Amino acid sequence: MNWGLRNRLDRVLPGLPNGTGSVMFAIDHGYFMGPTSGLEDPRKTIVPLLPHADSLMLSRGILQNSIPKRTNIPIVLRVSSGNSILNEDLSNEELCVSIEDAIRLNASAVAFSIYIGGAYEHQTIVEFSKLVNDAHRYGLPVLAVTAVGKDMNRDLRYLSLASRIAVELGADIVKTYYCDGFNELIAACPVPVVIAGGKKLPEAEALQLAHNAVQQGAAGVDMGRNIFQPEAPVAMIQAVRGVVHKNLSPKEAYDLYLTREDGDEHPADS
């Protein structure tokens, strides 16, 4: 792996060199869902959470309009799009942000959705592969978002298949969902894997999910709604961080969430 790629990968997932997990914070939902609940005023929600996230996954527009330019947080830039929640099929995506623009925006990695089993599987696989060619020319890591879509069966068989295909195509990081037997997925996926949180869960369950994933080999989380939709997002990201960075049990982390439920006045915990 060349120096730039390695260095950027370690910036995006800073837990990698010492074997702990990392907290990537996903706020890219609006690129097909519009003003998602909790992100209606993106800057107001996101800025207090920045000190607690290791990296930020988002679209070009929210980066340019809602993230302070002087932040040091590593950016994972979503570069695929092409559909909206108003359409039945969400898989008709293509590369919509150039590598030059990603570099201009100082992205540390780029993210692209592949729709394995979806109507536009072929198109997204080919576009993803071309993105890997171009991004690697500049030492930019590529994150494959797998298993997104309304009708995907998120079981081990499907998630392993989608994740492994992403690796075979050249992904440097795979984003997928947690499932029963997750350690088998990890064994078949020789690059760092991060998990999405999915729809909002009760906080204790979301922390259990994060705990299960890192215990079974995930390199961390790339969670969104389960961080910015709870009543106390700052407390929640600190609790998630406790699980991922410090190996807190789900109960310890949930206690941390409850004791910090007053919101955003707490400094970063590491």
Interacting residues toward ligand R5P by CB under 6 A: 26, 28-29, 113, 145, 148, 196-198, 223-226
Please provide the DSSP assignment of the chain as one string.
--HHHHHHHHHHSTTGGGT--EEEEE--THHHHSS-TT-SSHHHHHGGGGGG-SEEEE-HHHHHHHS-TT----EEEE-EE---TTSS-----EE-S-HHHHHHTT-SEEEEE--TTSTTHHHHHHHHHHHHHHHHHTT--EEEE-S-STT---SHHHHHHHHHHHHHHT-SEEEE---TTHHHHHHT--S-EEE---S---HHHHHHHHHHHHHTT--EEEE-HHHHSSS-HHHHHHHHHHHHHH---HHHHHHHHHHTTT-S-PPP--
- 121-124 contact pairs (CB < 8 A, 24+): 121/91, 123/92, 123/93, 123/94, 124/80, 124/91, 124/93, 124/94
Nearer to ligand R5P, 161 or 201 (CB): 201
* Min CB(3)–ligand R5P separation in Å: 28
* Min CB(221)–ligand R5P separation in Å: 8
Nearer to ligand R5P, 141 or 224 (CB): 224
* Min CB(69)–ligand R5P separation in Å: 23
Nearer to ligand R5P, 8 or 222 (CB): 222
* Min CB(224)–ligand R5P separation in Å: 3
Cα(96)–Cα(93) distance, integer angstroms = 8
Nearer to ligand R5P, 118 or 224 (CB): 224
Nearer to ligand R5P, 9 or 213 (CB): 213
* Min CB(263)–ligand R5P separation in Å: 20
Nearest to 175 by CA among 1, 66, 13, 10: 13
Catalytic, out of 44, 69, 150, 175: 175
* Min CB(30)–ligand R5P separation in Å: 9
Nearer to ligand R5P, 5 or 152 (CB): 152
Whether 150 is a known active-site residue: answer no
Enzyme catalytic residues: 175
